[in-house]
Amino acid sequence: MKRVAILKKKQLKEMGPVDLINRYNELKLELAKERGQMAIGGSPSNSGRIKEIKKTIARILTELKNREKIREV
């Protein structure tokens, strides 16, 4: 079964910086909830969800960093 990204690169490029930061904050909160659920002994609702959340957070941070570099040049 193929995993689907939470946000694709194309979608990230279309979002504004404020939207990216808001989405980043939402994902960090969701990741904390999933990790908390696992810490108390529960099983995550979707085992691959944590990995996808982490990948999407990394994509968002990379996009923000790239935009920062473009502004500096």
**Residue 1 belongs to a domain:** no
**Residue 28 belongs to a domain:** yes
Residue 25 maps to which CATH number?
A: 1.10.287.310
pLDDT at 44: 67
The answer to whether the predicted template modeling score (pTM) of the entire model surpasses 0.75 is yes
The greatest distance separating any two alpha carbons of the chain, rounded to the nearest whole angstrom, comes to: 49
**Residue 3 belongs to a domain:** no
Lowest-confidence pick of 1-5, 49-53, 56-60: 1-5
Cα distance from N-terminal residue to C-terminal residue, the chain = 42
pLDDT at 6: 83
3-class state of residue 15 by DSSP: coil
The closest of 73, 36, 39, 70 to 62, measured between CA atoms, is 70
The secondary structure of 29-67 as a DSSP string is HHHHHHHHHHHTTPPPSSTTHHHHHHHHHHHHHHHHHHH
pLDDT digits (tens, 9 = 90+) for 16-39: 999 999 999 999 999 999 888 888
pLDDT at 27: 95
Q: What percent of the chain has pLDDT over 90?
A: 52
